[in-house]
């Protein structure tokens, strides 16, 4: 059966697009999350078009071999991790922008297009593709669609799903489903587009997308505000929201992440006693941006900011924002990291940050927090020694404690990274049995043989709920 499947794949894609050398396939077996075990794939395939994806799906279905879709591998939940004996289907060769219609403000893309490449192409037409994950310079749109990725500007522009008009999806029987529309409005039938966005490769393989573009905003003006207490920074966020201002970006950094970025950049990011930093931007342009920046500065000062600074110079703004953009890299320079993804009501951000500090202290580890204050999506990051199994275990326990904290604050266990093969137990805790029954019914209807990405998001069998498995370092 194995030889027959490999021959069928080679016939459909060509010898060079079917990889079986274990040393090569290992590089496609997992994403960026160390907590999730990864299996050994039978093969890695790199289709060049939709027809080849359909051929791969049909061959795997006939052989009864699991198929795991994968983009660039920038995910942080093990959503694209291989299972033993599977075929990993990598969409990075499908990297063409098929259409960019400036008059209707839309783009038609293949899943292997890099996020930043679409942004640059849209900008040449005076347009803007808003979703901006931190890995936008190498993550692909197919992965963004599969996980419903977010980014720094979600508070104003929304996540990936908010930019999707329609999809092209290969189903478990190899049929090609087209969802959605090209029009601004359209409500015909069930919203199948939203069903597949964020489904993490468990319902089908996304082979194309029609994406909505926006007019290119003005160059942003930037505000930074330093606080001597996290609670004051949280109050600053609440005041901005209550005022009705919608900044194009509002980020928060705690003292630990600030120190890491300062060391990494070899610069001073604030004086002694600084416990939190807010970075806000307005892309409204002109007098409107001036008013928004002045109002946000006043509100931060009223909340107790010890220092504020605004600039309309884009270059200076980029320099100020760089501390936030390099924060994860700066933390990685200090050791191995586990990056979390919880979202809480914006009024509970300060409580989450304070709680993460306590969790870190209890585990004997450092926990740094940065996040998108504009929408409450926080990224606590646990630092540990990769060579120490005990620290790895404690880091996993801290990771789970942060998820529990997020839920206790009225939040969700993922704001933009997804569930993957990491958070199945937590999904069930958050959604409850009725919602999970509906999830399983949808999966069974669209993928009755459990062909696509088995073990991701949830266990198909409700009698055997997924349990956290932190694997080995």
pLDDT at 470: 41
Among 68, 81, 36, smallest CA distance to 467 is for 36
pLDDT surpasses 60 at 468: no
Banded pLDDT at 467 (limits 50, 70, 90) = very low
The kind and range of the H/E element at 280 are strand 276-282
Is pLDDT above 80 for 472? no
Whether residue 371 is predicted with pLDDT greater than 60 in this model: the reply is yes
The pLDDT, as a whole number, for residue 461 is: 76
Instruction: For the chain, give the percent of residues with pLDDT over 90.
Output: 86
Predicted pLDDT of residue 203: 98
Least confident of 61-65, 219-223, 304-308, 327-331: 327-331
> What is the distance between the alpha carbons of residues 446 and 449, in angstroms, rounded to a whole number?
9
**pLDDT-derived band at 191, boundaries 50, 70, 90:** very high
- For the chain, give the longest Cα–Cα distance: 70
Averaged confidence pLDDT in the chain = 93
**Residue pLDDT, tens place only, 97-132:** 999 999 999 999 999 999 999 999 999 999 999 998
Determine the Cα–Cα distance for residues 337 and 331; give it in Å rounded to an integer: 7
Q: How confident is the model at residue 270 (pLDDT cuts 50, 70, 90)?
A: low
Cβ–Cβ < 8 Å for 78, 97: no
Which is it for strands 276-282 and 249-254: parallel, antiparallel or unpaired?
antiparallel
Look at residue 325 in the predicted model and tell me its pLDDT: 87
Q: What residue ranges in 131-239 does DSSP mark as E strands?
A: 164-170, 176-180, 205-212, 214-215, 221-227
Whether the pLDDT of residue 414 is over 90: the answer is yes
Lowest mean pLDDT among 26-40, 176-190, 236-250, 407-421: 26-40
Say which DSSP state 265 is in: H
Report the 10 Å Cβ neighbour count for 433. Answer: 9
- Band (134; pLDDT cuts 50, 70, 90): confident
> Which has the minimum average pLDDT: 229-233, 249-253, 318-322?
318-322
Q: In this predicted model, what pLDDT tens digit does every residue of 1-17 receive, in sequence order?
A: 689 999 999 999 999 99
Residue 5 CB neighbours (<10 A): 20
Place of tokens 């450092």: 366
pLDDT at 245: 96
Q: Model-level pTM?
A: 0.92
| Predicted local confidence at residue 271, as pLDDT | 63
Q: What is the pLDDT of residue 463?
A: 56
Report pLDDT for 466.
40
Task: Name the residue with higher pLDDT: 267 or 463.
Answer: 267
pLDDT band at 473 (very low <50, low <70, confident <90, very high): very low
Instruction: Kindly calculate the radius of gyration of the chain based on its CA atoms and give it in whole angstroms.
Output: 22
Collapse the DSSP code of 109 into the 3-class scheme (helix H, G, I; strand E, B; otherwise coil) and give the result: strand
Query: Is the torsion defined by CA of 274, 325, 311, 303 positive or negative?
Result: negative
**Quick one: average pLDDT of 409-427?**
94
Q: Average pLDDT of 395-403?
A: 95
To which H or E segment does residue 291 belong?
Answer: helix 286-302
Where residue 273 falls among pLDDT bands split at 50, 70, 90? confident
């Amino acid at each position: 059966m194995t030889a027959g499947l490999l021959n069928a794949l080679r016939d459909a894609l060509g010898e060079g697009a079917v990889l079986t050398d274990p040393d090569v396939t290992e590089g496609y077996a997992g994403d960026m999350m160390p907590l999730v075990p990864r299996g050994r794939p039978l093969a890695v395939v790199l289709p060049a078009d939709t027809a080849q994806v359909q051929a791969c799906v049909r061959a795997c279905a006939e052989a009864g071999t699991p198929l795991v879709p994968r983009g660039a591998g920038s995910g942080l939940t093990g959503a694209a991790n291989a299972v033993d004996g599977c075929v990993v289907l990598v969409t990075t060769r499908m990297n063409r922008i098929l259409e960019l219609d400036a008059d209707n403000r839309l783009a038609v893309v293949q899943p292997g297009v890099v996020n930043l490449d679409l942004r640059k192409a849209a900008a040449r037409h005076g347009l803007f593709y808003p979703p901006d994950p931190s890995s936008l310079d190498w993550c692909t749109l197919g992965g963004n669609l599969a996980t419903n990725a977010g980014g720094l500007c979600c508070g104003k522009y929304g996540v990936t799903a908010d930019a999707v008009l329609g999809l092209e999806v290969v189903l478990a029987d190899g049929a090609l489903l087209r969802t959605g529309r090209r029009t601004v409005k359209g409500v015909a039938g069930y919203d199948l587009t939203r069903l597949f966005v964020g489904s993490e490769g468990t319902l089908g393989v996304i082979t194309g997308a029609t994406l909505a573009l926006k007019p290119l905003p003005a160059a942003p003006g930037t505000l930074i505000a330093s606080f001597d207490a996290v609670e004051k920074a949280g109050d600053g966020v609440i005041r901005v929201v209550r005022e009705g201002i919608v900044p194009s970006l509002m980020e928060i950094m705690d003292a630990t992440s600030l120190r890491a970025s300062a060391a990494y950049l070899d610069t001073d990011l604030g004086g002694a006693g600084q416990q939190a930093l807010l970075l806000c931007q307005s892309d409204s342009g002109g007098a409107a941006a001036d008013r928004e920046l002045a109002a946000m500065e006043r509100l931060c000062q009223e909340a107790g900011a010890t220092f504020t600074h605004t600039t309309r110079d884009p270059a200076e703004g980029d320099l100020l924002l760089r501390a936030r953009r390099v924060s994860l890299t700066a933390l990685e320079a200090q050791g191995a990291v586990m990056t979390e993804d919880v979202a809480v009501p914006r009024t509970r951000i300060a409580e989450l940050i304070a709680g993460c500090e306590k969790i870190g202290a209890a585990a004997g580890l450092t926990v740094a927090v940065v996040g998108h204050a504009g929408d409450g999506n926080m990224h606590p990051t646990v630092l540990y020694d990769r060579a120490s199994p005990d620290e790895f275990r404690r880091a996993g326990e801290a990771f789970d404690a942060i998820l529990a904290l997020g839920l206790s604050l009225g939040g969700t266990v993922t704001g933009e990274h997804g569930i993957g093969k990491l958070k199945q137990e937590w999904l069930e805790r958050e959604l409850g049995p009725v919602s999970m029954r509906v999830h399983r019914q949808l999966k069974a209807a669209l993928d009755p043989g459990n062909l696509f990405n088995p073990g991701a998001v949830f266990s198909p069998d409700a009698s055997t709920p997924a349990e956290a498995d932190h694997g080995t370092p």
